[in-house]
Chains A and B, each alone.
Chain A
Amino acid sequence: MLPFQVTNSPFNEQQVDLLNRLWPTLTPAQKLWLSGYLAATEFASTAVQQEAHVSKEITILYGSQTGNAQKLAEKTGEALKSRGFHVHVLSMLDFKPNDLKKIDTLLVVVSTYGEGEPPDNALSFYEFLHSKRAPKLNHLRFSVLALGDTSYEHFCKTGKDFDQRLKELGGERLYERVDCDVDYEEGAAKWLDGVLSELNKQGGGSVTVLPQQKQVQPASNYSRKHPFQAEVLENINLNGRGSNKETRHIELSLEGSGIVFEPGDALGIFPKNDPALVDLIIQEMKWSGDTCVSVEGKEETLREALLSRLEITVLTEQLLQALVSFSRHPDFHVLLSSEQEVKRKEYMKGRDVLDVLRDFGPWDMSPEQFVSSLRKLQPRFYSIANSLLAYPDEVHITVGAVRYEAHGRLRKGVCSTFCAERLHVGDQLPVFVHQNPNFKLPKDANTPIIMVGPGTGVAPFRSFLQEREAIGAKGKSWLFFGDQHFVTDFLYQTEWQAWLKNGILTKMDVAFSRDTDQKVYVQHRMLERSKELFRWLEDGAVVYVCGDKQHMARDVHQTLIHVIEKEGNMTSEQAEAYIAEMQKQKRYQRDVY
């Protein structure tokens, strides 16, 4: 029989080692006696349990950018443990791909980023699986929980890819993949139940034998489901007169909430829609705002529902599908036919519900039907801009107002313009903390840090420096900041200047794109400083990038590679590997949106 292993037995290394040494020395008679002895003892049942469990090793891998998938993976782990399974919960980054051969049950919880890309810490595993080096997995049973957001074109793409690829490699679906929209709780619960019953069916861990492990208590009983009503203490525009931008610095009171967070975490905010837009919709449909409708079984007026409960600015495939049956406009039906996909995507860009109502009337639709087609108004996330050590019982955020012209109408970002135009000192704002384990200061306060945060991306670095100042950190720090104009857009300027004076901030480089004839951005400053930058990397500096995903993060990433090539005279492959290694060591962390 195969030797005992930690991975195939309930025993720890020491025990495995002893057993492996003992077992071969036992005569059949002794083995028989021993089994009888065990069977006879009061531990019999458990022993049998453990017998049964020997093959019940479950590995849960997560790929997570902002922590949702990680949280769910851990919750799943707890649930399975409590049912006697032996569970390993790991980030895909920390999982040795070759161990795939050794495991027989794999659960994957993964989110999707960018335009359908895997989160940073899933990248290497994702690539391994899709490469030729990927092993056959005929022995493997798996199930995937995919996190995503239906407002994105490639909904839950990464989860879908994993699901499909594991199948291709010979794996057997333990339970069907579940794709979750931003409010993922229900979906996740459904998936967990499904997985559990399958495991049990397949003669897995019985449901009750071992004592339940106690749940870890959350620090505060406020959550996304039960947001805390935080009072607004301050709400100021950080942009000087004449700026093209409006960036709000908002301070909220957490007093009495017991809410805690760490630098790098984000704050979730439940906004309200623009009353003007809501009224336009109601007028457009010639409805009355006071009509009662029910949202999730809760009765309220149509106006209230559209104001604070439902998403009216984002078009999704699902929404159009839900609305089409109420429209008598032929074009709408054509637009929704499968061959029109490209056109449809094009149409959805920069348009909102009001556009649809205007473009595709007449409608045979009741307020009730309309309301039930809409998805719930989602919270928005904002990098926390302060440290609790510096501002106990407060949370600060930095919100850039999103305003743009599209299809002949001024469009306003729901949450950001709500904060900019309708949120006043003294108001209450529903918030919850969203931990982000993948954007954290190094444990060792002596580690040098390089922070790249143009625009609102600079927010978390204010909390980083506050924290480092509070704990008297000795590590060097270097901030790259950029925006449009020096005079009006130098966010938190006087605070950085003070930190430079007292040495909390070692270096700072700024790039203002519209002050000079040729545009300069943070990546240009990084390149100018490539020599020193590389020296910092070699000294073990951790690099943090926060802010715009679409352009900035890409360019900064390319620049980093370039710097490493140039100063470490490496090939681009070596440079990529260098970065990949940094990522593994959590020395390259990004919080981009």
Chain B
Amino acid sequence: MEKFVLTPPDGPPSDVERIKRESNYLRGTLKETMEDRITAGIPEDDNRLMKFHGSYLQDDRDLRAERQKQKLEPAYQFMIRVRTPGGVATPEQWLAMDELARTYANGTLKLTTRQAFQFHGVLKWNMKKTLQAINDALLTTLAACGDVNRNVMCNPNPYQSEVHVEVYEWAKRLSDHLLPQTRAYYEIWLDEEKVAGTPEVEQEPIYGALYLPRKFKIGIAVPPSNDVDVFSQDLGLIAIVEQGKLVGFNVAIGGGMGMTHGDRTTYPQLAKVIGFCKPEQVIDVAEKVVTIQRDYGNRSVRKHARFKYTIDRLGLEAVKAELEHRLGWKLEEARPYHFEHNGDRYGWVEGVNGTWHFTLFVEGGRVKDTDDYLLMTGLREIAKVHVGDFRLTANQNLVIANVPSEKKEEVDALIKQYKLTDGKHYSALRRNSLACVALPTCGLAMAEAERYLPKLLDQIEEIVEENGLRDEEITIRMTGCPNGCARHVLGEIAFIGKSIGKYNMYLGAAFDGSRLGKLYRENIGEKEILSELRTLFSRYAKERLSGERFGDFVIRAGIVKETTDGMNFHD
């Protein structure tokens, strides 16, 4: 098979490339700087490497100004991200995370949009203890962040348990296969003796010494649910199930949400389906896709370094050909599939194998106790008696999964005792809401998201009620900046932070995650947001065709132009 000639972009390597090169496989000076008692922070170079170890140095932005005046350094603290492939955790692991959150972190657990756990507010001196405890619980933070493959997502799919087990196994295998091989992580955090004379050249067979030009993400969807937003992934896999059996995956490449305000050369993009492969081929496919991005991704300009830009630069066909060349075989024709939604289905459902699953609504993915809602305690009590597993969803929710029917009573009693909610008493809009972390911990946040969306929804819900749309499922997403950690522009209504209290508003994304939204209003505050929604909802209530989704309506009604491809997102 003849090989397309692809050329990586020229230009001097970015500073991050230097840091990686000089880091000796992600070691840098972390061992020393983590010991420095004079500051709770670490130098920028080491922080870059820290990400590969699954953690970020952050500071409590609420306190910045005040502490500066007090002659105190920023309230430095670490965010720790725990890889949980497919979002599956055992009750023991849940209890371990819960305990750590209360011992070393800020007393809360964050369920992320990629089905992982996050801790916030861990102090430098507690990092080692925390990471060791996480590893003792048979979980890892290695490569939870950084220029590598991230936590592999997969639909928690409570409906078809056998298929889920199978798909989940592949997610895990993919995740493990693409883990970095360097021992740095074990040396720095787990006191592993440095093996003298390890041939470091061979340390990273897949990644090499410079790892990837940028983060890389893989997710597996099981139709009809597109909860993982398979088209937002660098590599999206769509499970094809025929007669209840997993026969393989449709392969989609080149998705990504991030962009930069005011820079049209950056844009969100959806992955495009390029074919089909059998389950046993999927590891090979993933590895080759990763190596293509490794070799052709932009290492000069980080904001153009994601796989989506590599593809748009080289052309989908060229990349597909290169992939098949590296595989040494051709992908099959993509199989038909059908998505209905990208949200979660709440409450109790019965799995086919007679076990039960309860999907819990966790607003903002934040597990914590408040005076009137003991969510964290409730889940701890359930974990103590639960014999199945927990599944973190791509929408920051939680499934108490595989509850044997004889245990259902007991678990349900606890759910009722702690009033753990499936969100049924909320508007469908809130149940389909998603917000990124943003302030106070996220260093890139330009505006509030997790802390603000719930309050905003209180007011939007009134408008929803006025228009009788209480049970109308509309996805609404908010992020504190254009990076899109809550996959913003795949929400039928999206708000992207510009500055404190100001957001860009996007409309027209598809309910099933197959179409990006379009900019509708720029830089608006709460008042404008509410008045815009008032008009939009009343029109939708009156003018929509039967079964017409809000995202489709605003396009038909000519309120926004349809975005047919990321490349015309800004037009």
Contact B71 A492 (CB under 8 A): yes
Which interface residue of B66, B69, B72 has the most chain A CB atoms within 10 A? Answer: B72
Nearest Cβ on chain B to A586's Cβ, whole angstroms: 30
Q: Is B265 an interface residue (CB 8 A)?
A: no
**B40 engages A486 (CB within 8 Å):** yes
> Contacts A241-B63, A487-B123: A236 and B39 contacting too (C-beta < 8 A)?
no
Q: Which residue of B lies closest to A507 (CB)?
A: B38
Of all chain B residues, the one with the shortest Cβ separation from A494 is B71
Contact of B72 among A493, A509, A510, A516 (CB under 8 A): A493
Say whether, besides A487-B40, A496-B38, A508-B38, A515 and B71 are in contact (CB < 8 Å). no
List B residues 22-42 near A (Cβ within 8 Å). 37-40
- CA A493 – CA B72 in complex, angstroms? 5
Q: Taking the complex as formed, is A272 at the interface, i.e. its CB lies under 8 A from any CB of chain B?
A: no
**Taking the nearest CB of chain A, how far is it from the CB of B31, in angstroms?**
19
B332 / chain A contacts, CB cutoff of 8 Å: none
Q: Say yes or no for A227: interface residue by CB 8 A criterion.
A: no
Contact of B125 among A249, A490, A491, A515 (CB under 8 A): A515
B424 contacts chain A at the CB level, 8 A cutoff: no
Within 8 A of B (CB), among A466-506: 486-488, 490-497, 500
Q: In this complex, what residue of A is CB-closest to B74?
A: A494
**When A and B form their complex, what is the total count of cross-chain residue pairs whose Cβ atoms lie within 8 Å?**
48
Chain B binding surface, main DSSP class:
loop
Contact of A237 among B68, B70, B125 (CB under 8 A): B70
CB–CB B39/A240 < 8 A: no
A238 within 8 A of B: yes
Cα-based distance from A490 to B72 in the complex (angstroms): 7
CB-CB under 8 A from A497, the residues of chain B are: 38-39, 73
Establish whether residues B71 and A249, one from each chain, have CB atoms under 8 Å apart when the complex forms.
yes
Q: Which residues does chain A contribute within 8 Å of B123, judged by CB atoms?
A: 486-487, 515
On whether the beta carbons of A240 and B70 are closer than 8 Å, the reply is yes
For residue A239, CB closer than 8 A to chain B, the reply is: yes
Known: A497-B39, A508-B38, A510-B38. A487 touches B69 (CB 8 A): no
CB distance from B440 to the nearest CB of A (A): 13
Question: Does chain A have a CB within 8 A of B316?
Answer: no
Chain B 48-92, CB-CB to A under 8 Å as 1, else 0, gives 000000000000000100111111110100000000000000000
Closest chain B residue, CB of each to CB of A234: B69
Looking at A239, A487, A491, A497, the one whose CB has the most chain B CB atoms below 10 A away is A487
Nearest CB on B from A235, distance (A): 12
A238–B63 CB distance below 8 A:
no
Cα A237 to Cα B71 with chains together (Å) = 10
Contact pattern, B 527-546, Cβ under 8 Å of A = 1, otherwise 0: 00000000000000000000
Q: Complex Cα distance A495/B38, Å?
A: 11
Flag A45-71 by CB within 8 Å of B: 1 or 0 each.
000000000000000000000000000
Most buried by B among A494, A500, A510, A515: A494
Q: Is B38 within 8 A of A238, CB to CB?
A: no
Q: Which residue of B lies closest to A515 (CB)?
A: B125
B residues less than 8 Å from A509 (CB atoms): 37
Q: How far is the CA of A486 from the CA of B123 in the complex (A)?
A: 10
Q: Is A238 in contact with B75, judged by CB distance below 8 angstroms?
A: no
Please provide the chain B residues from 458 to 480 with a CB less than 8 Å away from any CB of chain A in the complex.
none
The reply to whether B37 and A240 contact each other, CB–CB distance below 8 Å, is no
CB distance from B74 to the nearest CB of A (A): 10
Name the CB-closest residue of A to B77: A487
User: Would you give the shortest CB distance from B126 to chain A, in whole angstroms?
Assistant: 9
- Flag if B71 contacts A238 (CB, 8 Å): yes
* Given known A-B contacts A237-B70, A241-B63, A487 and B75 have beta carbons under 8 A apart: yes
Give chain B residues whose Cβ lies under 8 Å from the Cβ of A491.
71
**In the complex, which residue of chain B has the Cβ closest to the Cβ of A500?**
B38
Best-buried of A493, A500, A508, A516 by chain B (most CB within 10 Å): A493
User: Which of chain B's residues have a CB closer than 8 A to the CB of A493?
Assistant: 71-73
CA separation between A496 and B38, bound complex, in Å? 9
Min Cβ gap A511→B in Å is 9
Contacts of A241 in B (CB 8 A): 63, 66
Rounded to whole Å, the gap between the CB of B125 and the closest CB of chain A is 7
Residue of A nearest to B123 (CB): A487
The interface residues of chain B lying within 8 Å CB-to-CB of A488 are 72
> Within the complex, what minimum Cβ distance (angstroms) separates A462 from chain B?
10
CA of A302 to CA of B71, assembled, Å: 42
Enumerate chain B residues within 8 angstroms of A249, measured Cβ to Cβ.
71
How distant is the Cα of A492 from the Cα of B40 in the complex, in angstroms? 15
A237 to B69 CA separation, bound complex (whole angstroms): 9
B68: chain A residues within 8 A (beta carbon): 494
| A486 proximity list for chain B (CB < 8 A) | 37, 40, 123, 125
Q: Can you list, as one digit per residue, whether each of B440-458 has a CB less than 8 Å from chain A (1) or not (0)?
A: 0000000000000000000
* B interface footprint on A241-270 (CB within 8 Å = 1, 0 otherwise): 100000001000000000000000000000
Chain B's nearest CB lies how many Å from the CB of A463? Answer: 15
Q: Which residues does chain B contribute within 8 Å of A239, judged by CB atoms?
A: 70
Give A509 Cβ to nearest chain B Cβ, in Å: 7
Complex-state Cα separation, A65 to B67, whole angstroms: 36
In-complex Cβ contact of B69 among A236, A496, A500, A516 (8 A): A236
Interface residues of B in 346-393 (CB under 8 A from A): none
B75:A240 contact, CB within 8 angstroms:
yes
CB distance from B77 to the nearest CB of A (A): 9
A436 to B146, CA, bound (A): 57
Cα separation A493 to B73 with both chains bound (whole Å)? 7
Q: How far is the CB of B311 from chain A (nearest CB, A)?
A: 45
B37 touches A510 (CB 8 A): yes
Q: What is the bound-complex CA distance between A509 and B37, given in angstroms?
A: 8
Given A500-B38, A510-B37, residue A495 in contact with residue B71 (CB < 8 A) = yes
Interface centre among B66, B71, B73, B75 (most CB of A within 10 A): B71
Which residue of chain B is the closest to A238 with respect to CB atoms?
B70
Distance, CA A183 to CA B37, complexed state (A): 44
Within 8 Å CB of B71, what residues of A?
238, 249, 491-495
Tell me which of A249, A486, A488 has the highest count of chain B C-beta atoms within 10 A of its own C-beta: A486
Chain B residues whose CB sits within 8 angstroms of the CB of A492 once the complex forms:
71
> In A106-161, which residues have CB < 8 Å from any B CB?
none
Most buried by A among B40, B68, B70: B70
Contact A240 B69 (CB under 8 A): no
Residues in B neighbouring A496, C-beta threshold 8 A: 38
Kindly state the separation between the CA atoms of A317 and B75 in the bound complex, as whole angstroms.
49
Closest to B62 in A: A241
Smallest beta-carbon distance A257→chain B, Å = 26
| Chain A proximity mask over B111-155: 1 for CB below 8 Å, otherwise 0 | 000000000000101000000000000000000000000000000
Query: In the docked arrangement, what's the CA distance between A487 and B63, Å?
Result: 12
- Assembly CA distance A500 to B39 (angstroms): 11
Residues on B with C-beta less than 8 A from A236 are 69-70
Give the chain B neighbours of A238 by CB distance below 8 A: 70-72
Give complex CA distance A488, B123 in Å. Answer: 13
Please measure, in the bound complex, the distance between the C-alpha atom of A495 and the C-alpha atom of B71, giving whole angstroms: 7
Contacting pair A240 B38 (CB below 8 A): no
Distance in angstroms between the alpha carbons of A166 and B84 in the assembled complex: 82
What is the distance, in angstroms, from B61's C-beta to the closest C-beta of chain A?
14
Residue of chain A at shortest CB distance from B75: A487
A494 to B68, CA, bound (A): 8
Of residues 357 through 378 on chain A, the ones whose CB sits less than 8 Å from some CB of chain B are none
Interface residues of A in 426-451 (CB under 8 A from B): none
Q: Given the complex of chains A and B, what is the CA–CA distance between A516 and B123 in angstroms?
A: 12
- The residue in B38, B39, B66 that gathers the most chain A C-beta atoms within 10 A of its C-beta is B38
- Smallest CB-CB separation from B68: which chain A residue? A494
Residue in A240, A495, A516 whose CB lies within 8 Å of B67: A240
The 4 closest A-B CB pairs, nearest first, are: A494-B71, A492-B71, A493-B72, A240-B72
Q: List 23 A-B contacts (CB under 8 A).
A: A236-B70, A238-B70, A239-B70, A240-B66, A240-B72, A241-B63, A241-B66, A486-B40, A486-B123, A486-B125, A487-B40, A487-B75, A493-B71, A494-B71, A494-B72, A494-B73, A496-B38, A497-B38, A497-B73, A508-B38, A509-B37, A510-B38, A515-B123
- Given known contacts A238-B72, A487-B75, what 9 new A-B pairs fall within 8 Å (CB)? A240-B63, A240-B70, A240-B75, A241-B63, A494-B72, A495-B71, A497-B38, A510-B38, A515-B125
